[in-house]
Amino acid sequence: MRKGVKTNGEYLAGVDGSHDVNCPQCHARFVVLPVAPLYTLKQTCLLVPCSETQLKSVLVKKKAEVPLGPVQYRHDGRCRRRIRLLSVDDIKRLRAYFVRPKKVA
């Protein structure tokens, strides 16, 4: 090994003590990662009050009306099926598209 290479497992995992956080209940150590959550289409349908067919039609046919971020996929299963993922900003834009304030005459 080269001189100065760290071989400690906790150092390599990022839990060397400088960035770790302790759980208040079980006191387990973990590293807080700055990763935004991604949601599948089924989870998005629960957050945005719409059906899955409505959501798919908006994602395909109304791209100009609802500009979303870059397309992200997760590969699942043996045949490597692509599952579309939406970010929090995308869900906020979709919710603003589907839920509009009531017009008062």
Question: For residue 15, what pLDDT is reported?
Answer: 47
88 vs 17, higher pLDDT: 88
Tens digit of pLDDT for each residue in 22-43? 777 787 777 667 778 899 999 9
Model pTM score: 0.64
The answer to whether 85 and 39 are in contact (CB under 8 A) is yes
1 vs 52, higher pLDDT: 52
Using 50, 70 and 90 to split pLDDT, how confident is the model at 17? low
Residue 86's Cβ-count burial label (10 Å; 0-12, 13-18, 19+) is: buried
